[in-house]
Amino acid sequence: MFGPEAPYEREGDVGNVVFPCGYTVGSDGDTLNLYYGGADTCIALATGSIRALLDWLERHGQQHEQSGWWEQNQEAQGRRDLRVA
């Protein structure tokens, strides 16, 4: 979902590296603003939809019984809601 693609993310002090630094949620409650470092030389901003991200995770994510998430969200499975531990 998140990896080095642009030249400023692939070339620099530490090439082919991106790392999240922080995030904010837009006033619409759906826009995710992800601030990140690229190639250890710059700070950049990626934006996306929280709803689209959760939808993608619901369709493509894998549940791991050993993570603790599984047990905490068993009862939420039928209701389509997500609780973050």
Domain range summary for the chain, segments of one domain joined by +: 7-79
The CB-side HSE value for 10 (13 A sphere, CA atoms) comes to 4
Q: Is the pLDDT of residue 75 over 90?
A: no
Output 82 or 25, whichever has higher pLDDT.
25
CA distances from 80 to 32, 44, 48, 83 (A): 21, 33, 21, 10
Report which residue type is found at 65.
E
The CB-side HSE value for 84 (13 A sphere, CA atoms) comes to 1
- Whose tokens are 């979902």? That residue is 1
Can you tell me the distance from the alpha carbon of 82 to that of 73, in angstroms, rounded to the nearest whole number? 7
Confidence class of residue 17 from pLDDT cuts 50, 70 and 90? very high
